[in-house]
Chains A and B, each alone.
Chain A
Amino acid sequence: MTDVSPTSGAAAPGVKQPLLETRGLSVDFGGLHALDQLTFEVREGEIVSVIGPNGAGKTTLFNAITATVEVSDGDIVFEGQSLQGLDPNRVTSRGIARTFQNVRLFANMSVLENVMVSQHCRTKQHAFGALFYTRAFRQEEAEIRRRAEEILGFFGTRLIGYRMDQPAFTLSYANRRRLEIARAMATQPKLILLDEPVAGMNPVESAELTGLIGRLRDEWGFAIVVIEHDMGVVREVSDRVVVLDHGVKIAEGDYADVANDPQVIEAYLGKGAGER
């Protein structure tokens, strides 16, 4: 019903509390250290980019936060509470939502249903209400639908109208990515993890989505962590950039600092220098 606003918290204006912290986070796959003693934090209302070459452990970081891979060492703290030992669905209901690098929609459900079903953990009507078609049930259904339409409306005319009732597999690639974000928004998170949101988009679409990421924070108050390879997007959106290589954080700071860091340039084998 009400969207969580970062400024409505008890924190004094201007001072932003750490929303998510990882403390010495390690994930091992056999002998491989996918993440090695990673410590970083995300504050409320902040957009943090995570970059690094392929295999640096970026997606593993997301998987560790959302409890889809097992953490071997260290701790993840969200709003002052550890996320250790929670099931993925509990993490989501705590307020962390994610998108997937290789777009994973519910392909045969309609666009609207995709967003409606993602509100599952914020709604509570169960079999009883559905069977007896109670007033509360009808109200909640209407509310779920209204909110889904509102969220889809965020993307302009892209996902509303006749498209709402079409199965998700008919969507174009860019629209699938948008729907993934819509679905993450529907879980009413405080923090959204975007895994390569503009991958495969053309420059116009990616510029538009870059603007949307900013609006996600400004209008909806989400803190956002984004994995991205497109340096243009990273420069545009990030308050802070974290650079990973081989599971280790090699640099952190604002875009200009990071882009000039010799270690980062080395990690990218000169690719980073080319971007400048």
Chain B
Amino acid sequence: MGSIASFAQVFIALSNMPVRLDERLIIKPVLSLGYLVLLILPFAVGYRQGHQIKREGVPTYAPGPNEVVGGFLCGALAGGGLSLLAVLLTHFDLREPLVNWSPILLDLLAFGNATWFAAVIWLVIGGGMGAAGGVLRLLGPRSRRAVVTMVLVVLGVAVLESLVVDLAEGLGLEPLTDRLYARRGGVNWPSAVGLAVVSGLLAVVGRGRFRQARTRVSELEGAKRTQANVGLILLTAAVLIVLPLFAGKLTNELLANVGLFVLLALGLNVVVGLAGILDLGYVAFFAVGSYSAAVLTAATSPKIAPEMPWLVALIVVVIITGLVGLFIGAPVIRMRGDYLAIVTLGFGEIIRLLFLSDWLSGWFGGSQGITNIPAAGIFGLTDVAGTDPRRVFYLVLAFCALAIYVSWRLERSRLGRAWMAVREDETVAEAMGINTVNVKLLAFVVGAVLGSFSGAIFAAKVGSVFPASFLILVSIVILVVVIFGGMGNIIGVIAGSAVLIGVLGGPKQPGLLAEFSEFKLLIYGALLIWMMLARPEGLIPSVRRTRELRQHEMAQDAWLRGEVDDDDGGNGTGGASSAVLP
């Protein structure tokens, strides 16, 4: 495991991440984000090596000093990769194959000293982090929780500096942040220690309560539980409505971006999560929504410029996108599985290329796009434009609420059941009298319309549309969001967008960790792989999806618990039910 990690370490180092991130200080004089990236893996490996697989009948042994030693070895191995790299880099000219090689990297690795120093120091650092991971195993659950919270809070506050500052300004807490952060960015180390102590204490005192409350809620009976859930939803809504009032421009911009992606992801969720149609060209509907809104509202649109008010245009946009959905869907929907995915991928590109083409540039401006799209007027009350992200966010929020309502209601209807059946077994669904083509087409169109909302808001927010905004990457990012969050689950999809888009950033939009934006796709990929291995049902999975993926395990568990439906026993057929098969 240590050697795998060492490869990963070398890879990270060579991807230029540390150099780029070195400028960002985490804790004032001690730690920069660049080094942090290199420290995480040895630690994780050290912790992981103590992992015991729990099996029936195999005794688990108590963690002992072995963990520390093992952690040290694994960590050292991981660090060893960097040592080796440092040595190699000084003795051979590797500029040719390794494009990101630079003297700065070597300097960084060696802390400005000679190469041999780098080689030794990374072995020691890796070993140390690994051992720390091992020690974490030794701690009791309580102190482990405290330590983890401490580290996470300090790192979190440091990494999310811009967000915290922005929020603090809105709330009038500037003196606090002034003290917390150094001028050039990064947390002062005294305040870091203070934070750690406070959060550690809070973790010890508070966390247990939270868990208690959660189990209490889940133990409630039907009606009361619904009440609790409704209360929770109302609370979330209230927070979402109030929060932007205090947040600065930056945070609101972020929220608006996340909202746009939530809207897209909810639309795709209807197609992929509910009806099981793997659509890799979802960006097409986002593009059609944006472009039709642009053409309908902008005075500068090349061919026709009806200059409709945004809300009126929206109705037309919905109709247009619905028709495009039908038009694309009709041929595509008859295919199944992989073929369908490939064809949707193709259509996604075709739509973009059409907007880009010279042939239609008279309508859509080709690569110049359409600019000067006016703000979205809402009943003459307000104008929503990108210059005021707070209003954009409220608009997005309204449409998200609509999208959530639509998917929630449809899922629990005759149509939703039919989608489920189609996802389970298309042939049988057809044999049970479901017109699978119509039902799937409808899912496609609902998804398209939800996507077009996002597109129309996007056009008004950005004020211009270009074909380059609708790359295939957008489709993939939305799909990753849906898969990551938990396919088929509304809350999961929202959580997925918040984590991926909010923290890492969208295809073009910066997230909280703006420093990582260059390596966003790398991190997306790593996260997705890890997710598929560890938790294929997603962050917050739907019950049904979990069932699909873990059917056999669940059946086995049920059997172990003795809950299995082991045929009909004595009920009704008389005593001879255990008759031997002929």
Contacts and interface: CB of A to CB of B under 8 A. Distances in A.
Interface of A: 66, 68, 87-89, 92-93, 97-98, 100, 104-109, 113, 116-118, 120-123, 125-127, 129-131, 133, 137, 140-141, 144, 156-158, 163, 166-167, 169-175, 183, 187, 202-205, 208
B417 A89 contact: no
A108 B424 contact: yes
Given A137-B413, A204-B576, A204-B579, A104 B428 contact: yes
Which of B429, B432, B580 has the most C-beta atoms of chain A within 10 angstroms of its own C-beta? B432
A202 B581 CA distance: 5
Given A113-B417, A121-B433, A204-B577, A170 B410 contact: no
5 contacts: A87-B430, A92-B432, A105-B428, A163-B565, A202-B581
B9 interface: no
Interface in B413-470: 413-418, 420-421, 424-425, 427-436, 442, 446
B555 A170 contact: yes
A108 B548 contact: yes
Contacts of B544: 108-109
A182 B572 CA distance: 19
Contact of B414 (A144, A157, A202): A144
B571 to A, nearest CB: 6
A172 B576 CA distance: 18
Contacts of B417: 109, 113, 116-117, 120
Interface size bucket, B side?
Answer: 35 or more
Contacts of B406: 131
Nearest to A159: B565
B574 A104 contact: no
Interface of B is mostly: helix
Nearest to A106: B424
A88 B431 contact: yes
A74 B551 CA distance: 44
B409 A205 contact: no
A121 to B, nearest CB: 3
B430 A117 contact: no
A203 to B, nearest CB: 5
Nearest to B442: A127
Contact of B551 (A68, A141, A166, A169): A169
Contact of A174 (B413, B558, B567): B567
Interface string B369-410: 000000000000000000000000000000000000110011
B568 A174 contact: yes
Contacts of A175: 565, 567-568
B416 to A, nearest CB: 8
A212 B412 CA distance: 32
A107 B424 contact: yes
A77 to B, nearest CB: 20
Contact of A170 (B420, B565, B577): B565
Contacts of A131: 405-406, 409-410
A87 B544 CA distance: 29
Contact of A203 (B410, B446, B565, B579): B579
A117 B435 contact: no
A255 to B, nearest CB: 20
Nearest to B551: A169
A127 to B, nearest CB: 6
B419 to A, nearest CB: 10
A108 B427 CA distance: 16
Contacts, number: 145
A87 B420 CA distance: 20
A133 B409 CA distance: 8
B418 A127 contact: no
B571 A89 contact: no
Contacts of A105: 428
Nearest to A168: B424
B566 interface: yes
B407 to A, nearest CB: 10
Nearest to A156: B572
B573 A117 contact: no
A100 B418 CA distance: 19
Given A156-B572, A169-B551, 7 more contacts: A98-B431, A104-B428, A125-B413, A126-B415, A175-B565, A175-B568, A205-B577
B564 A89 contact: no
Nearest to B428: A104
Nearest to B552: A169
Nearest to A113: B417
A109 B430 contact: no
B418 A106 contact: no
Contacts of A133: 409
B552 to A, nearest CB: 9
B447 to A, nearest CB: 13
B336 interface: no
B415 A208 contact: no
B547 interface: yes
A109 B414 contact: no
Q: Which 5 A-B pairs have the closest CB atoms?
A: A121-B433, A130-B413, A92-B433, A106-B424, A117-B417
A2 B409 CA distance: 29
B582 interface: yes
B418 A120 contact: yes
B420 A113 contact: yes
A118 B413 CA distance: 13
B431 A167 contact: no
Interface string B510-548: 000000000000000000000000000000000010011
A158 B571 CA distance: 9
B434 A120 contact: yes
A239 B568 CA distance: 29
Given A106-B424, A204-B579, A68 B431 contact: yes
B413 A89 contact: no
A117 B418 contact: yes
A109 B434 CA distance: 16
Given A130-B410, A204-B574, A172 B431 contact: no
Contacts of A100: 428, 431
B82 to A, nearest CB: 47
A173 to B, nearest CB: 8
B421 A106 contact: yes
Contacts of B432: 89, 92, 97, 117-118, 120-121, 183, 187
B435 A87 contact: yes
A123 B414 contact: yes
Contacts of A158: 568
A183 B414 CA distance: 15
Contacts of B571: 156-157
A103 B435 CA distance: 21
B418 A68 contact: no
Contacts of A205: 567-568, 573, 577
Contacts of B577: 202, 204-205
Contacts of A166: 565
Contacts of B420: 106, 109, 113, 117
A169 B421 contact: no
B284 to A, nearest CB: 22
B176 to A, nearest CB: 47
A268 B544 CA distance: 46
B446 A120 contact: no
Contacts of B558: 170
A202 B579 CA distance: 7
